[in-house]
Amino acid sequence: MRTKVTLALLFLNVALFALIFYTRHELNIERTEAEARLRVLGDEVVGLTTIEIKSPATADILRLGRKRSTDAWEITAPINWPANDFAVKRIIHELEFLKHETSFLVKDLKKSGQSLSDYGLNPPSCTLAFTRDPALTNGASVVTELGIGDTTKVGNRLYLLSPDKKTVHVVGRSLADSLNLGLEQLRSDALFTIPVFEVRSLGLQIPAPDGKNVRLRLRRDGARWSFEAPIVARAGKTAAEVTVSALNALRVGRFLNKTEAPVEHTGLASPALRVTLEGNNRRETLLVGLPSGAPGADTTEFYAQMEGRDQVFATSIPNELMKTLRLAQEKLRETRILDFDAASVTAISISDPSSTRTPELTLQRLETSAAWQIVLRAGEQGTRTFPADATRVGNLLQRLSLLSATHFLSDAPSQAELENFGFNLPQRKITLTLAPTGGGPVAAASTQITLILAISGAAADSVQARVEGQTFVYAVPADTLNELPVVSRVYRDRTLSTLPEGTQITGVSFGPTDGSAPLYTHQLATGETWAAALAAEPAARRAALETVLAQLRTLRAKQIVSDTFSETTLVNGQPQKWKYQITTTLALGGGGGQTKASTLFLSERSGGGTQLAGSPEFGVVFEIEQPLLDALWTLTYGGRDPGEPAIVHP
């Protein structure tokens, strides 16, 4: 019994849902059909290409046309000018959704003793005509025309004559409001319509003092901008795109007629500036004439005109933008001197051609890792290599990539000018070797970029730069030479040695080099640990010795002083023999096997935080780091340190 009731209820539910769905579907169809019956226009407003608004009483005609290439609307009469896209779309929207509240047939007017004239439709006060894309009408040019008449006496509606002239519709006023915007509201105030991302080139033509026009052209290739004329050089990407954005931001201040802007007053017969933007298969050129008023603090208003259009207008141009355009060859130039990818650099060669004593320094990237090494060619001493500090090499590459010109000295100097700039005996020559690019069966050759820095004889504090193979000469910051030293120790890795895993320190001896008793010495017995060996030491000495052992396992320099070890060193400017030495016994491979001795020499401490160390094994003199310096002080003078003075209370 229960099963039958459940099935019956389920059936009733299904039937109810089906009824609701069918009813809603029918209601939607009826609603759609009702809306369609209220629409004045149908497919006639799909794909419009022209719109014409005319007033038979005044013979005024306003024509709008849509460009096929860009889908942008423009006014074609009474002037030739881009249209306000929002205003045109408003008209099209009103046509698409134009509905009548009531309508009656023209043929029935005679029965009531009336005519179209009674409704302001013979002739209409305004006529709206439009055409569709011929592709939608089988190639035919079909014109649809609407007549707009008087306002209704009640309800503030309008009388509208249908395209076939057979029906009078009563519609809302919104269509007439969209048509009554006037020329001022229908025309766009934008000058350039090519967006920044589409711009492919920027062209400038500026009159020169000799009467000839200077032509500049910048072209964009992907993310790069470059000058094509009057020189071939890199342009600044940011500077170029900021300038294009500023040009796109220019607006018409006011449109002028011939009375307001006679040709002889505008200067447009021979423009002071021509600016051309080229995009995808289109170009736009702005002609800038004379100022139309006194210069302002930030902007100046100029007479202007778009090439190919007769309309003259006034536009305010920021003074900074005008300065950039007039000095574009300098303002839009890429100030960074070198163009390279730091990741592709395999070697850096630095030399000082003005000094015969300074050997050439080469930094090489190791093939198996991201590590670098220093290659130092020192005449009779032959070639030596040292590990390089990868961070410092990275900083060097960054400094070179960011090296920028303070100003451009010459784009085509003569040989005499090059000598004047000091390039006959330069101060630095830096060569970057770049890894081959591209694939294929035949490997491409490595490329090199060489930067040359010189000091002018006329001004010793002036540093000039040029790239080998290029003609340009740049002025660079005066401290550039100091930032690019030809000193291997500057780039050397501060980590001098790290004991391999499994290597143990089995003995340490620290004391004077004159043979007197050591300050500390101990050799581990078999199975003994340093924790056990140091357990009996006072707390301060134990902590100091533990620090020394840790520092010896990973020996780091605070600063490299010399790449060559010598028997003496300078302490406070005076040559002195090494004062102390630390001799370490190392058990390789975990002890019980091969052993090795290593000696580190130390000077007397000079100043509050400086003590030199020398290693004949690594061929280096360096400043030790603070933890080791403090530990050695404790071992050397800890017993004589009186400690903090006692505080005497009154």
- Residue 188 tokens read as 């766009």
Q: What percent of the chain has pLDDT over 70?
A: 90
Residue 184's Cα: distance from chain center in Å? 39
Residue 36 lies in a domain: no
Lowest mean per-residue pLDDT among 250-259, 320-329, 444-453, 626-635:
444-453
- Residue 117 tokens read as 């004239």
Confidence of residue 649 (pLDDT cuts 50, 70, 90): low
Together in a domain, 158 and 83: yes
Together in a domain, 364 and 303: no
Together in a domain, 356 and 449: yes
* Amino acid 573: pLDDT: 78
Question: Quick one: average pLDDT of 90-105?
Answer: 88
The CATH number covering residue 106 comes to 2.60.40
Residue 375 lies in a domain: yes
Q: Which residue has the higher pLDDT, 307 or 456?
A: 307
Q: What percent of the chain has pLDDT over 90?
A: 45
Is the pLDDT reported for residue 647 higher than 60? no
* Amino acid 625: pLDDT: 92
Residue 499 lies in a domain: yes
Residue 408 lies in a domain: yes
Residue 29 lies in a domain: no
Q: How far apart are CA 70 and CA 193, in angstroms?
A: 10
| 3-class state of residue 417 by DSSP | helix
Confidence of residue 644 (pLDDT cuts 50, 70, 90): low
Q: Which domain range does residue 595 map to?
A: 495-640
Positive or negative: CA dihedral 389, 452, 217, 272: positive
Together in a domain, 351 and 477: yes
Q: How far apart are CA 143 and CA 49, in angstroms?
A: 11
Q: How far apart are CA 389 and CA 283, in angstroms?
A: 52
* Amino acid 458: pLDDT: 56
Q: How far apart are CA 39 and CA 33, in angstroms?
A: 10
Together in a domain, 614 and 580: yes
Lowest mean per-residue pLDDT among 154-158, 217-221, 267-271:
154-158
Question: Quick one: average pLDDT of 529-554?
Answer: 92
Closest C-alpha among 147, 154, 143 to residue 102? 154
Q: How far apart are CA 345 and CA 397, in angstroms?
A: 9
How many domains would you assign to the chain?
Answer: 4
Is the pLDDT reported for residue 26 higher than 60? no
Closest C-alpha among 606, 608, 619, 607 to residue 560? 619
The amino acid at 287: L
The amino acid at 301: E
Q: Which residue has the higher pLDDT, 438 or 622?
A: 622
Is the pLDDT reported for residue 182 higher than 50? yes
* Amino acid 385: pLDDT: 84
Is the pLDDT reported for residue 387 higher than 80? yes
Closest C-alpha among 626, 568, 625, 633 to residue 601? 568
Is the pLDDT reported for residue 648 higher than 70? no
The CATH number covering residue 278 comes to 3.30.1490
- Among 165-179, 312-326, 452-466, 475-489, the range of highest mean pLDDT: 312-326
- Rounded to two decimals, what is the model's pTM? 0.74
Together in a domain, 559 and 634: yes
Residue 25 lies in a domain: no
Q: Which residue has the higher pLDDT, 504 or 207?
A: 504
Is the pLDDT reported for residue 34 higher than 50? no
Together in a domain, 305 and 377: no
The answer to whether the beta carbons of residues 78 and 183 sit under 8 Å apart is yes
Q: Tell me how far CA of residue 478 lies from CA of 348, 394, 429, 472, 482, in angstroms.
A: 22, 22, 16, 18, 9
Domain boundary among 137, 156, 186: 186
Residue 579 lies in a domain: yes
* Amino acid 29: pLDDT: 47
- Residue 170 tokens read as 């009563």
Is the pLDDT reported for residue 284 higher than 90? yes
Together in a domain, 106 and 158: yes
Question: Quick one: average pLDDT of 295-312?
Answer: 92
The answer to whether the beta carbons of residues 280 and 200 sit under 8 Å apart is yes
The answer to whether the beta carbons of residues 493 and 389 sit under 8 Å apart is yes
* Amino acid 123: pLDDT: 86
Together in a domain, 484 and 499: no
- Residues 213-266 have pLDDT tens digits of 889 999 999 889 999 999 999 999 999 999 999 999 999 999 988 888 888 889
Mapping DSSP onto H, E and C, the string for 205-246 reads EEECCCCCEEEEEEEEECCEEEEEECCCEEECHHHHHHHHHH
Question: Quick one: average pLDDT of 116-129?
Answer: 89
Together in a domain, 323 and 346: no
Confidence of residue 58 (pLDDT cuts 50, 70, 90): low
Tell how many helices (H) and how many strands (E) occur in the chain: 15, 37
Beta bridge partners of 583: 509, 599
Domain boundary among 122, 157, 186: 186
Q: Tell me how far CA of residue 531 lies from CA of 93, 151, 546, in angstroms.
A: 89, 107, 9
- Among 16-30, 35-49, 243-257, 456-470, the range of highest mean pLDDT: 243-257
Q: How far apart are CA 521 and CA 507, in angstroms?
A: 8
* Amino acid 201: pLDDT: 96
Residue 173 lies in a domain: yes
Q: Tell me how far CA of residue 88 lies from CA of 12, 73, 92, 584, in angstroms.
A: 55, 7, 6, 89
Confidence of residue 392 (pLDDT cuts 50, 70, 90): very high
Question: What's the burial of 19, exposed, middle or buried (CB within 10 Å: 0-12/13-18/19+)?
Answer: exposed
Please give the biggest Cα pair distance in the chain. 140
Q: How far apart are CA 13 and CA 1, in angstroms?
A: 19
The amino acid at 452: I
Q: How far apart are CA 20 and CA 28, in angstroms?
A: 12
The answer to whether the beta carbons of residues 404 and 333 sit under 8 Å apart is no
Domain boundary among 161, 186, 211: 186
* Amino acid 581: pLDDT: 93
Is the pLDDT reported for residue 40 higher than 80? yes
Question: Quick one: average pLDDT of 476-503?
Answer: 89
Strand order in the sheet with 299-306: 233-235, 224-229, 213-221, 201-207, 273-278, 283-291, 299-306, 312-318, 254-256
Q: How far apart are CA 286 and CA 278, in angstroms?
A: 12
Q: How far apart are CA 515 and CA 371, in angstroms?
A: 41
Q: How far apart are CA 146 and CA 165, in angstroms?
A: 9
| 3-class state of residue 112 by DSSP | helix
Q: Tell me how far CA of residue 500 lies from CA of 5, 87, 505, 554, 615, in angstroms.
A: 87, 78, 11, 10, 18
Question: What's the burial of 37, exposed, middle or buried (CB within 10 Å: 0-12/13-18/19+)?
Answer: exposed
Together in a domain, 470 and 546: no
Together in a domain, 217 and 266: yes
* Amino acid 33: pLDDT: 46
